[in-house]
Amino acid sequence: MAIKAGVLGATGSVGQRFILLLEENPEFELVALGASKRSSGRAYGDVVAWKQTKPIPAQSSGLTVHECSAVHFTSCDVVFSGLDSDVAGDIEEEFVNHGINVISNAKNYRQHPQVPLVVPTANPEHLDHLANHDKSKGIHICISNCSTAGLVVPLKALQEKFGPISHMMVTTMQAVSGAGFSPGVSSMDVLDNLVPYIGSEEDKLEMEPRKILGDVDASTGTFLHIPQDEFKISATTTRVAVIDGHTASVSIKFAKNKPSKEEIIATWREYQSQCELLKCKSAPEHAIVYLDQPDRPQPRLDRDTGNGYTVSCGRLRDDEVLDYKFVCLSHNTVLGAAGSGILIAELLKAKNII
């Protein structure tokens, strides 16, 4: 039976991606949409400022947009949240307290010790700890920050094979769709330009990988961060004139032995997450691809690999300061947001959690 899904923040950058991905996926039936009071009570097609390259799916276009109140979403098996973080905190809490399962893109609960922070092709095993969740409430899961999502997949593959990474320096070049649509980045700021600042983004990149790659205390269901002194991260984040696709230049140092370049590339190419092993519908054939061309990955050429669920890596080379440096690229509204939400719901079904 199809998973009945709702989308909160359906009119936004992430919300629109949810609409497109859900429409193409027979595992889901989209039954309810929510946005602000400005949009509620009207047909989705009439209120959304559609900015995707594919047309609005006809079925979604006719759905009525509701206010984000749990009463309108009780028929949903899962509700995906693409809400502005200014409002996501209270709204998601109300939904979970009404027994509705929420998978959120907003940052509000990412650091909560009982809420898993999941990138489905990196740490799907964290979802196993939800099997014994408090059944009087809905399940609450957070998806990572979009730059973090593309980063932790290649790191997880290396951590599994070669042990912990102790140091990382990362500089991102982030697409404008990451800044959302209301108001978004102005063309005067980003055209012919680069903005070397994205508010709070560096803190998230320095914090979230330590939870995603960390352990879980199974006795208490607490999601633990790798201590800061065991995994030091320094991040710089920038906005560039790209529509979709976040690129990162990354340098890493291994805590133990330094593998060879050939071992790293083979590890990335062979890596399989539970999503592929459990045959989730949206799972990419390869969670990571390594590109040998010296000028790849590039956002326009590589963001849609694996329908936007694959991380493209390239330019692996020695680093004079740490061990190695490389470039990675991922689709910020697919793997970095809506796509991960959908893949997490598919994992929950495959694991009999929903």
Ligand X SMILES: N[C@@H](CC(=O)OP(=O)(O)O)C(=O)O
Ligand Y SMILES: NC(=O)C1=CN([C@@H]2O[C@H](COP(=O)(O)OP(=O)(O)OC[C@H]3O[C@@H](n4cnc5c(N)ncnc54)[C@H](OP(=O)(O)O)[C@@H]3O)[C@@H](O)[C@H]2O)C=CC1
Q: Interface with ligand X includes 340 (CB under 6 A)?
A: no
What are the φ/ψ torsions at residue 129 (nearest 5 degrees)?
Answer: -75, 0
Q: Which does 201 bind (CB under 5 to 8 A by kind): ligand X, ligand Y, none?
A: ligand X
Contact 316, 129 (CB under 8 A): no
Contact 6, 22 (CB under 8 A): no
Kindly state the smallest distance separating residue 124's Cβ from ligand Y, in Å. Answer: 18
Q: Which is nearer to ligand Y, 145 or 305 (CB)?
A: 145
Rg, the chain, Cα only: 19
Q: Interface with ligand X includes 179 (CB under 6 A)?
A: yes
Question: In the chain, how long is the greatest CA-to-CA distance?
Answer: 59
Binding mask 273-312 for ligand X (x = CB under 6 A): ----------------------------------------
Catalytically active residues are 146, 246
Distance (Å, rounded) from C-alpha 186 to C-alpha 174? 14
What does the buried/exposed string (b/e) look like for 200-236 if buried means 16 or more CB atoms within 10 Å of the residue's CB?
Answer: ebbebbbbbbbbbbbebeeeebebebbeeeebebebe
Q: Which is nearer to ligand Y, 68 or 78 (CB)?
A: 68
CB-based contacts of 292: which residues, under 8 Å, 6+ apart?
314
Among candidate residues 56, 72, 45, the one with its CA nearest the CA of residue 22: 56
Distance (Å, rounded) from C-alpha 334 to C-alpha 82? 12
Exactly one of 66, 126, 156, 204 binds ligand X (CB under 6 A); that residue is 204
Q: Which does 204 bind (CB under 5 to 8 A by kind): ligand Y, ligand X, none?
A: ligand X
Q: Is 117 helix (H, G, I), strand (E, B) or coil?
A: strand
Contact 184, 272 (CB under 8 A): no
Among positions 5-44, residues that touch ligand Y (CB under 6 A) are 9-15, 35-36, 38-39
Q: Which is nearer to ligand Y, 106 or 265 (CB)?
A: 106
Q: Which is nearer to ligand X, 126 or 239 (CB)?
A: 239
* Total residues at interface with ligand Y (CB under 6 A): 31
Exactly one of 201, 206, 302, 346 binds ligand X (CB under 6 A); that residue is 201
Structure tokens at 44: 């989705």
Exactly one of 337, 342, 344, 345 binds ligand Y (CB under 6 A); that residue is 337
Q: Interface with ligand X includes 248 (CB under 6 A)?
A: no
Among positions 76-95, residues that touch ligand Y (CB under 6 A) are 82-85, 87-88
What are the φ/ψ torsions at residue 55 (nearest 5 degrees)?
Answer: -65, 160
Q: Which amino acid is at 148?
A: T
Footprint of ligand Y (CB under 6 A)? 9-15, 35-36, 38-39, 68, 82-85, 87-88, 105-107, 146, 177-178, 180-182, 332-333, 336-337
Footprint of ligand X (CB under 6 A)? 85, 105, 107, 145-146, 174, 178-179, 198, 201, 204, 332
